Structure 1
Amino acid sequence: MRIGALSMRWPSLDPLLALLGLALLVVGLVAISSASIEYAEFNYNSPWFHTKRHLMYIAIAVTAGFVVYQVPSSIWLKTGWAWLFAALILLILVLLPGVGKDVNGSQRWLPLGPFTLQPSEFAKMAMVVYLAGYLDRQADAVRNSWQGFMLPVVVVACFALLLMVEPDFGATVIVAATAFGLMFLAGVRLMYFIVVLGLSVAGLVALIFSAPYRVQRLTAYTDPWADPFGSGFQLVQSLIAFGRGEWLGVGLGNSVQKLFYLPEAHTDFVFSIWAEETGFLGASVVILLYAALIGRILWVGRKASLASRDFSAYICYGVALVFSGQAFVNMGVSSGLLPTKGLTLPFISYGGTSLIVCCSMLAMVLRIQQELRQPQPKSARRVL
């Protein structure tokens, strides 16, 4: 009886989902180690400076994921508004003079001793948790009334405004796209959706043309070779990295573009260095890993939906939208498919906050998969 009780309390993880997340973490560690060696040696007199920090970030992120895995989804349902409020406070704090840290004209980080916290990453997770709870509780209002649909839209607009003040256009796009994707999946009236989506797109276009540097990025994206040593420099160097990789790559550690040709080689453009060193084959493996991970998360979400656990389903769909959106944008920017914008590659790019949030969101999905193996308590169906 005791063994049976323990097995019910600690059921095994979804092996495929856990292994896919672990595989991406390993790829990230290898990619960061290779891409940052020369940069770390030049700036910190230690070739393994970023590798050691990334290992520490992974340890913290996995620990955070373990903690999140212990939290039942019903707790997230009850406290969604609190996480949203916490994210809002952090987004306001990062904008206060003397509180937020300014890097290259962007005030996106909160210094915490030797580390920094990026509130925009936490905001993505908080938005998913809040919207999943709202769409579960207010399903009828969202589908049948303008007021029920507009409340989450106003919340998203407030977050988007704070993110744009930083400015963080990439995070704004991901938060807005995830929110609209979830509301569409919740069955909102198509007319409501089209009107608000159209206004949002028009607002984003206006924001692009309101800042000269965003217009410059757009023009550089359409023809980077017109100014290969100026506005098109990053994209040109990234495309050179892809070209050098060919089919099988130049070999791990043998990248030329990471030798101070490609800026941000271990952060925003780590996929370019990976493609140069491992070629089309290595780049394809990473893409397939993301496709498998996102597909598995959607599968868990579908199972939750069929079991009438709408909150759990929306959590899964939201996590899948965040991961797929960021992966698509990051790899699209690196390959010249999209204009340049600073977004991390989930589980791979260098950055502690991103790793912690990614592992936490994956842990939420793993927890949901665990709970789907157990009968649902009647009291957990609706929380007002």
Structure 2
Amino acid sequence: MYDGLLVTCVFALFGLGLIMVMSASASEAERMFGNPYHYAIRHAIFMGLALCISGAVLQIPIKHWHDKDGFLLVVAIVLLIAVLIVGKKVNGSTRWLALGPINIQVAEVAKLFFFSFLAGYLVRRHDEVRENIKGFIKPLFVFFVIACLLIAQPDLGTVVVMLVTTMGMLFLAGARLWQFAALLIAGATAVAVLIILSPYRLRRVTSFWDPWQDPFGSGYQLTQSLMAFGRGSWTGEGLGNSIQKLAYLPEAHTDFVIAVLAEELGFVGVTAVVVLLAVVVFRALWIGRQALQDERYFEGFFASGIGIWLCFQGVVNMGASAGLLPTKGLTLPLVSYGGSSMIILSMAIAVVIRIDHEGRMARTQAVGGRRK
């Protein structure tokens, strides 16, 4: 017994993502590899791996995630340290561990494993989180350690996503509002300082405010993305007819795939992606809420955390492409090109589906027991 609506929307996003990666990457793949389908083929392989791995994850009882949450946290920290020592450097960032032909972006692994740990902590220290400032601070210290390792890569976007998700999970656990106010102020201050101290990040923020001031420099990505949105209008230029993807818009098949989609499929296509992603997010949050009502607290916190993560990452990606938020280098969940992101997000969704499945089975058994 699985959530049919959730699974359908996930596969729809997979399919749409494959089509858009094929379209958005064809020009660059032809220029770099002499094969316009190079990235599309790799994306299809990643999809196959994601489905196989998430299928295996689907067989793992959630109890095992709960029992091993501390071990998973240690694995995440070790991977984050390892990538700083022996990681592969791309575009000035050291975010990938090379395992033969596969590059693993360890920040994606860290997200899932940290949220598993946090869900377990909120179960073990539930009363302490609600009543004692120490219970609120302890997981933030762990987050601080992970955030420092991520900043060293550097990867501020992942830190922001994890911070927002952490705040959401702590809120669900019943932490007090004044603690959130203090955390929000501290987090915003820390992000502001990191931006000010980094000329690269500062240029991103200032170009977000007025990208047309330097359209061929710091504002180049955003102006090209905005032109793609503008050309798309209501119904788009037609699949494959994007001009901006032809060496104008950088990262067209990764960070800015929604801009190419907007140009080719228009407002209608963007709305379809938003609706599909919103359904996935709301189903994850609903499954988390149902688990909390059934007093399956680890499952409830974990599913809710995954829902918040998917929601915020999707909002940041689309907001950055549309000029509503500074660019952060985050993928559009289940749509953008990127093996690590696709595999880890697929695993996360498989966890949500497993949580829902176990809940349905438990409720069915409870009803059967009452009838007897």
Query: Residue 268 of structure 2 aligns to which amino acid in structure 1?
Result: L
Report the secondary structure of 1:265's partner residue: coil
Of 285, 297, 312 in structure 1, the residue corresponding to residue 272 of structure 2 is: 285
Aligned to 1:22: 11
User: What is the deviation of 1:196?
Assistant: 2.5
Paired residue type of 1:153: L
Q: Give the AA of the match of 1:82.
A: F
Identity of aligned residues (%): 46
Separation in structure 2 between the aligned mates of residue 374 and residue 262 of structure 1, nearest angstrom: 48
Q: Which residue of 1 aligns with 2:152?
A: 165
Runs (4+) of structure 1 exceeding 6 A deviation are none
Q: TM-score, with normalisation over the residues of structure 1?
A: 0.93
Give, in angstroms, the shift of residue 105 of structure 1: 0.8
For each residue in 1:339-370, what CA deviation from the matched residue of structure 2 results, as whole angstroms up to 9, or x when unmatched? 11100111011111101111100000100111
- Could you tell me how far 1:30 is from its partner in structure 2? 0.5
Deviation at 1:375, TM superposition (A): 2.7
Of 68, 73, 79, 1:90 maps to 79
Which residue number corresponds to residue 113 of structure 1? 100
TM-score (norm 2): 0.96
Question: 1-side partners of 2:40 and 2:361: how far apart?
Answer: 40
- In the alignment, structure 1 residue 364 sits paired with structure 2 residue 351: yes
What whole-Å deviation, never above 9, does each CA across 1:74-109 have from its counterpart, x for those lacking one? 11000011111101011001111xx11111111111
2:95 match: secondary structure: strand
Contact 1:127 1:179 (C-alpha < 8 Å) held by counterparts? no
Secondary structure at the aligned position of 1:231 is classed as coil
1:365-380 → structure 2 map (5 Å cutoff): 365-375=352-362
Segments of structure 1 that go 5 or more residues without pairing to the other structure are 1-11, 379-384
> How far does residue 197 in structure 1 lie from its aligned partner after superposition?
2.5
Say if 2:60 is the partner of 1:71: yes
C-alpha distance in 2 between matches for 1:81 and 1:257: 46
After TM superposition, the structure 1 = structure 2 runs for residues 234-383 of structure 1, keeping only pairs within 5 Å, are 234-375=221-362
1:88-147 alpha-carbon deviations (Å, 9 max, x no partner): 011001111xx1111111111111111100000111101110111110111001111111
Equivalent in the alignment of 1:155: 142
Deviation at 1:193, TM superposition (A): 2.4
Contact 1:182/1:317 (CA < 8 Å) preserved in 2?
yes
Q: Which runs of 5+ in 2 are unaligned?
A: 367-372
Q: Distance in 1 between matches of 2:152 and 2:205?
A: 20
For 1:153 and 1:18, the matched residues in 2 are separated by 33
- Aligned mates of 1:366, 1:108 — CA distance in 2: 29
CA RMSD of aligned residues (A): 1.2
The one-letter code matched in structure 1 to 2:99 is: L
- Deviates most, 288-297 or 55-64: 288-297
Which amino acid in structure 2 is aligned with residue 219 of structure 1? T
Match of 2:167 in 1: 180
Q: How far did residue 194 of structure 1 move?
A: 1.8
Shift in Å, 1:303: 1.0
Distance in 1 (alpha carbons) for counterparts of 2:233 and 2:145? 44
Question: What CA distance in whole angstroms lies between the structure 1 residues aligned with 2:9 and 2:114?
Answer: 24
- Residue 50 of structure 2 corresponds to which residue in structure 1? 61
Q: Which amino acid aligns with 1:319?
A: I
Q: 1:136 aligns with which of 107, 110, 123?
A: 123
Shift of 1:252: 0.7
Q: Kindly provide the CA deviation profile for residues 168-222 of structure 1, in whole angstroms up to 9, marking residues without a partner as x.
A: 0100101111111100111112222222331121111111101011111111000
Partner of 1:8: none
